[in-house]
Amino acid sequence: MKVQAYLAFNGNCQEALNFYGELFNANVENRETYEDKKMDVPSSFRNKLQHAELIGKGIHLMAYDAAPDTPINSGNQIHMSVDFNDKEEAEDVFNNLAESGIKHHNFREREWGFFGRCTDKYGINWMVNAKK
């Protein structure tokens, strides 16, 4: 069994995947737009992503731009969790995710290791961990 995250965006999915791809050294693959889909979306939305995947070593996310008739409600129902063996790498990733976003818990040492929690500029919640 494999459980996988599928992220929804408000029209900026490609931008977000490019950001995450650079941060996690991953590539956007299986990119499909609404262009040739038989779906009722405005013509201005046809170039948005109907499906894409971010694939790299240790990461595989799926994502899309929710159609205009599917509102995205920000909430705290899901957090992406990233585990590192290296504290400095984890802290660097945390700082990049938190930049232009919201830091909920600064990246610092905890009982179990190092941890930080933030919401990035795309409204995605992240928990970044590193071993002691």
User: In this structure, are 19 and 54 located in the same domain?
Assistant: yes
Q: Which residue has better confidence, 75 or 24?
A: 24
**pLDDT (mean) for 19-39:** 93
Q: Does residue 70 lie in a domain region? A: no
88: confidence class by pLDDT, cuts 50, 70, 90: very high
**Would the pTM of this model clear 0.85, i.e. be above it?**
yes
Is 27 inside any structural domain? yes
Q: Has residue 63 got a pLDDT over 80?
A: yes
Closest by CA position to 89, among listed 25, 28, 15: 25
> Predicted confidence band at 117 (pLDDT cuts at 50, 70, 90)?
very high
Shared domain for 42 and 92, answered yes or no, is: no
Total count of residues recorded for the chain: 132
- In the block, residue with structure tokens 């990461």: 59
Extended strands (E) in 16-75: 26-33, 49-56, 59-65
Domain of 25: which CATH number?
3.10.180.10
Q: What domain range includes position 53? A: 6-65
